[in-house]
Structure 1
Amino acid sequence: MQQNSLVEYGSRRVIITITAVMCALLEIVDTTIVNVALHDMQGNLGATTLEVGWVVTAYAIGNVIIVPMTSWLSQQFGRRNYFAASILIFTIFSFLCGNANGIWELVAFRFMQGVGGGALLVTSQTLITESYPPEKRGMAQAIYGMGVIVGPTLGPPLGGFITDNYSWPYIFYINIPLGIIAMLLTLQFVRSPKYGDKLSVKQVDWAGIALLALSVGSLQYVLEKGQEDDWFSDPMITLLAVTTVLGIFFFIWRELRAKNPIVELRVLGNGNLRTGTILSFILGFGLYGTTFIIPLYTQATLGWTATQSGMLMIPASLVTAFMMPIVGQLLQRGAKQQILVALGMVIFFFFCMWGYKIITPDTSKEAFTWMLMFRGIGMGLLFVPITTLSLSTLKGKQIGQGAAFTGMMRQLGGSFGVALITTFIARQSMQHRNNLVSKLSIDDPTVMQRIHGMQQSFIGKGIEAQTALKDAYQSLDYMVMKQSIVLTYMDVFLYIGLLFLLCVPFVLMIKAKKNKGEKIDTSMAH
């Protein structure tokens, strides 16, 4: 009975759904919207490149620390109050970010904005799941999924447009009116489930909170800053990596023994949720990894502007948004989640192979657009079945706990993906460069003919012979560097594609457990 006491109908359900999707979008768009404005912030606040990178890192750390705690915090303060307070924190700190006078002030406000934002994503998913009867949950996850998948790709073009036409503080100010509307709708329409008594201050698992913040915060720092600081040759990275491992070990030990754990790890005893968290990690890896490399490639190698790179991602997002309700309908009609996930992974593999084939130093916009639209189909087939599979056999407060796990794993999958890809690009491009240089010899007549041709071309522009020869060698070096970067990005696509293909047989082997009480719940919902 508890499970269905929160099911909503009619306009009330529509309003709750719109509020939840709006909050999920606010949170996710803010993850990527700042990326294109970092250059302006750097100049405006007099920061170094390393310092301005913290604007992104601080938000991610705030996010990933709070996500696993959201279910517990909802129980303590009541879901409606906690959700409204999170929106308020997010909105206030958005205003303060826009008003920041120094880089470290902005970083501190971004961390707090991330703390407010982390709750928005997971609580939105729980709200939508519980507002729909079990047989309509596939469609509910499809609606939520639109926000989650479309969000990361809306950020860069929106950020580019605002930065080019106004100024960077406005990327934070646009959250204020939306935040106020969302908060008022939450206070008016969202209901809080009753899950027993609140804990006194003494009963709170303070050790669990400290260990969670320490371990997850350290892990996020290592992933964000590892490549930049040359991984374990940096004492700080080494120290935090050790802290992460020990912190996670003691956190698990603590949570399994605590009377009132901050994160209920026992919920992972549910087979479907365990499978869903692993698949969420892989989904995050593919979603954020490819959303990261394509704009990076188009800007750094093809010389596109931030707005052009951002706009490239929009058609793919629209395809995903179009796919979501179709997949939701298929699930409602009894399509197997494992089959849809496997199909999504095969499509994602073909998308990566497509990328592998078309990457050149001058790939056209059209080639990218069709490839990314194909990715949009794969994402639609992956997101909805993975989330419905994860939460399908959970009831009551377990739904919130399960949503927190899948949300955190998707986030960490993205962080791992971006960290691994940046490290791989830096190391592999040097490897390719060395291989290409080893094939260039001054004894090779073709090489010398090429250099001589370029030298003549420079002389023709009125440059003195010796300088022209130097310029010719520099041009050749630039070509080698560009070619090595192209080969590296080809490798990235190939390996991400193979990762997804390798997962297919395991996904097909999953036996999804049906909720024994589902038939009764369904009849009660009508």
Structure 2
Amino acid sequence: MATTGFRRWIVVITTVSAAILELIDTSIVNVGLTQMAGNLGVTIEDISWVVTAYAIANVIIIPMTGFLQQYFGRKTYYIGSIILFTIASYFCGIADDLWTLVAFRFLQGIGGGALLSTSQGIMYDSFPPNQRAIASAVFGMGIVLGPTIGPTLGGYIIDNYHWSWMFFINVPIGILAMFLCMTFVEKQPNEFNIDRSRIKIDQIGILLLAVGIGSLQYVLERGEADDWFDDRAILYLTVVAVISIPLFLWWELKTDSPVMDLRVVKNQNLAVGSILVFIIGYGLFTSILLFPLFAQRIVGYTATKTGNILIPGGAISLLMFPLVGRSLANGVSPRLFGVLGYLSFILFCYMMSNLNADAGESDFTWALLVRGAGMAMINAPLINQSISTLKPQELPTGIAFTNMVRQLGGAFGVAITNTYIAQRTAVHRNDLVSNLQAGDPLTTDRLNALAQGLAARGMNAMDAVTGAYKSLDGIISKQALMISYLDTFRLAGLFFVVTLPLLFFMKNKKMDPAAAKAAADAAH
């Protein structure tokens, strides 16, 4: 039954805050890896396990949330997840060696991954059927703001405090969320008399899911850093994923009590919506990865300034999400917003792909405003339409499946982005170097200018010439890297162009009121 008035908005604030908290932690540590590596005395490659462990835990637990809510009860499971996330965050902050940090980061991901789907279900329950689109919009706001706020908050902490505060900041918010949840979130009727002895545990399905999806996530997260199939671990885990995932699909379609009932993917809206959600996850995480790299490595911005530039784009999303939700509730076509959102992201990619090292703050701000508006217009319609034609008993799996696909889309985005940048940088560097010819007047003039500049700062003539060649090499490397970033923005835009027509294969259907009402009792 939908809550009303003050109680509803306390529930909304609690669930959206929890979802944002989880998503912030997918990106907040990215800007602090260098400081963390130095403090713990490890390499950048090793410290990246802090990101990988969280992502693997997330993608394993998300598809299992429907079953775990049924087994433990939604409210109990939700509070338990918040407690685990909060405690693990504290121990991440006090960790004094890498593998302790990685272990608690994995536990943090287990607790955090549950917050997404469960928060979404509680949010839906708080609104009557005719306002479910508003619920989608409010929750979608959290999905976009979380990864956007992460680098901003992380940059501020890294520039002003110790990296451990990226984890300690979760503790008071987690405690408050736990208290509000215990006080204001109501149990579902079926939570009062759970007979766990009658609930079959799909042990084989859980094992295949954890092994298959966990291996795939590891390969996507670590592939580029570990030279893909030149690394034995990547090779072996790819084989494990190729075997385990098809076995998981076969088993879940065969067994009577699946941990994740994949039969729901036969639903056209969910099937098409999942592809689009995958692309949205790719675009969301790729843009959040690419922009800071471009701003810091090419233009030379600090982590704090880079984060601050993200704020206006996040603000426009914050303003637009409720407007989009109300428009959907009043009958505006979800497809219209979907198309506008897709076109906005394509425009964002086009704008970013035409920048250079002389780009100013306003150039980034305008592009990110377009991105923020696009994400606001496409997330709510996709969330709402993907599950709008599901039966009430299918909603838990549908919600969990779309959240898992979004996370995998983000992992795919990060993997393909890192690989593509590395490949394109090598290509562009070769192209640039091939234009440098011995005796070429332009090359000679540039080297002489660099050498004279170094000599003017007190360097002897021989060292100045050597330094000039090193400086020119650095200029070429930076230019090649910049062009590769532009190529990667074009690639992201191409993914959106290619998948845009799929929006027209989704049925424009509001969730049936009776089904939506029943979903409040059965979905979570």
TM tier, smaller? over 0.9
Cross-structure match for 1:28: 23
Q: Is 1:456 aligned to 2:452, yes or no?
A: yes
Equivalent position amino acid for 1:227 in 2: E
Query: Which digits, 9 at most, give the CA deviation of each residue in 1:489-516, with x for residues without a partner?
Result: 111111111221222223124333555x
Q: Which residue of 2 aligns with 1:49?
A: 44
> Residues 193-204 of structure 1 correspond to what in structure 2 (within 5 A)?
193-194=188-189, 198-200=195-197, 203-204=200-201
Q: CA deviation at 1:192?
A: 3.4
Counterpart Cα distance in 1 of 2:329 and 2:204: 43
CA-to-aligned-CA distance 1:373-414 (integer Å, 9 cap, x gap): 111111111111110111212343422221111111111101
Question: Which residue does the alignment assign to 2:347?
Answer: 350
Which residue of 1 is the match for residue 435 of structure 2? Answer: 439
The aligned amino acid for 1:17 is: V
Q: Secondary structure at the match of 2:299?
A: coil
Contact 1:271 1:513 in 2 (8 A): no
Partner of 2:173: 178
Aligned equivalents of 1:389, 1:83: Cα separation in 2: 25
Please state how far the C-alpha of 1:522 moved relative to its aligned partner.
8.0
1:218-367 matched pairs, under 5 angstroms: 218-358=215-355, 360-367=356-363
> Which piece of structure 1 moves more, 31-40 or 483-492?
31-40
2:83 — aligned with what?
88
Per-residue deviation, 1:210: 0.7
Report % sequence identity.
45
Q: Please state whether the residue corresponding to 1:149 is helix, strand or coil.
A: helix
Name the CA distance, whole Å, in 2 between partners of 1:202 and 1:384: 33
Deviates more, 1:156-165 or 1:28-37: 156-165
Q: Secondary structure at the match of 2:332?
A: coil
Deviation at 1:441, TM superposition (A): 0.6
Partner of 2:496: 500
Task: Note if contact 2:205-2:258 (Cα within 8 Å) is conserved in structure 1.
Answer: yes
C-alpha distance in 1 between matches for 2:514 and 2:125:
16
* Contact 1:272/1:512 (8 A) holds in 2: no
Deviation at 1:519, TM superposition (A): 7.1
1:523 deviates by 13
Question: How many angstroms does 1:106 deviate by?
Answer: 0.8
2:463 matched residue in structure 1 = 467
- Looking at structure 2, the residues matched to 486 and 174 of structure 1 have their Cα atoms a distance apart, in angstroms, of 34
Amino acid at match of 1:438: S
Q: Residue 187 of structure 1 corresponds to which residue in structure 2?
A: 182
Kept after mapping to 1: 8 A contact 2:385/2:507: no
* Deviates further, 158-167 or 103-112: 158-167
Aligned residues of 2:447 and 2:468 also touching (Cα < 8 A): yes
| In 2, Cα distance between equivalents of 1:230 and 1:457 | 39
The TM-score with structure 2 as length reference comes to 0.94
Alpha-carbon distance change, 42 to 454 in structure 1, aligned in 2, over 3 angstroms: closer
State yes or no: 1:491 paired with 2:491: no
Q: Which moved more, 1:64-73 or 1:272-281?
A: 272-281
Task: Give the alignment partner of residue 374 of structure 2, picking from 358, 378, 399.
Answer: 378
| AA matched with 1:342 | V
Q: 1:344-392: per-residue Cα shift (whole Å, max 9, x none)? A: 111111111111112x123111111111111111111111111011121
Partner residue of 2:5?
10
Judge which range, 42-51 or 363-372, deviates more: 42-51
Residue of structure 2 in register with 1:3 after alignment? none
Between the aligned partners of 1:121 and 1:194, the Cα distance in structure 2 is: 22
What amino acid is the match of 1:458? L
Name the CA shift for 1:39/1:480 in 2 (closer, same or farther; >3 Å). closer
1:429 corresponding residue in structure 2? 425
Higher mean displacement: 129-138 or 241-250: 129-138
CA–CA separation in structure 1 for the residues paired with 2:32 and 2:449: 41
Separation in 2, partners of 1:202, 1:514 = 32
Instruction: Give aligned pairs, total.
Output: 518
- Name the aligned partner's letter for residue 452 of structure 2: Q
1:241-272 superposed Cα distances (whole Å, 9 cap, x missing partner): 11111110110111111121111111212221
- Deviations along 1:173-194, one digit per CA (max 9) or x if unpaired, are 2212221221122222223335
Structure 2 residue aligned with 1:419:
415
Residues 460 and 146 of structure 1: CA distance in aligned 2, closer, same or farther (over 3 Å): same
Question: Which of these residues, 492, 496, 513, is aligned with residue 518 of structure 1?
Answer: 513
TM-score w.r.t. the length of structure 1 is 0.94
CA contact (8 A) 1:436 1:484 kept: yes
5+ long unaligned stretches in structure 2: none
Deviation string 1:83-137 (CA, Å, 9 cap, x unpaired) is 0111111111111111212110110000001000000011111111222122211
Question: Which of 158, 165, 168 is residue 163 of structure 2 equivalent to?
Answer: 168
> Secondary structure in 2 aligned to 1:423?
helix
Matching residue's letter, 2:22: E
How far did residue 463 of structure 1 move?
A: 3.1
Query: Relative to structure 1, is the Cα distance of residues 137 and 201 closer, same or farther in structure 2, using a 3 angstrom cutoff?
Result: closer
Change (3 A) 1:514 1:27: closer
> Any idea what the Cα deviations from partners look like across 1:287-334, whole Å, max 9, x if unmatched?
000000110111222222211111111110001111101111211121
Residues 1:72 and 1:430: Cα distance change in structure 2 (over 3 Å): same
Q: Is the 8 A contact 2:385 2:510 kept in 1?
A: no
Q: How many angstroms does 1:164 deviate by?
A: 3.2
CA distance in 2, matches of 1:464, 1:99: 49
1:138 aligned onto 2:138 = no
Deviation at 1:202, TM superposition (A): 8.7
Q: How far apart are the structure 2 equivalents of 1:347 and 1:448?
A: 45
Asked if the contact 1:276/1:389 (under 8 Å) is kept, the reply is: yes
Cross-structure match for 1:78? 73
Residue 438 and residue 212 in structure 1: after superposition, are their counterparts in 2 closer, same or farther (change >3 A)?
Answer: same
SS of the residue corresponding to residue 368 of structure 1 reads: helix
CA distance in 1 between partners of 2:281 and 2:434 (Å)? 38
Residue 353 of structure 2 aligns to a residue in which SS? helix
Question: 2:186 and 2:395 mapped to 1: Cα distance?
Answer: 15
Q: Which amino acid aligns with 2:398?
A: G
User: What RMSD, in angstroms, separates the aligned Cα atoms of the two structures?
Assistant: 2.1
Counterparts in 2 of 1:357 and 1:112: CA distance versus 1, 3 Å? same
CA, structure 1 residues 454+185, in 2 after alignment: closer, same or farther (shift >3 Å)? closer
2:337/2:381 contact within 8 Å kept: yes
Is residue 273–residue 506 contact of structure 2 (8 Å, CA) maintained in 1?
no
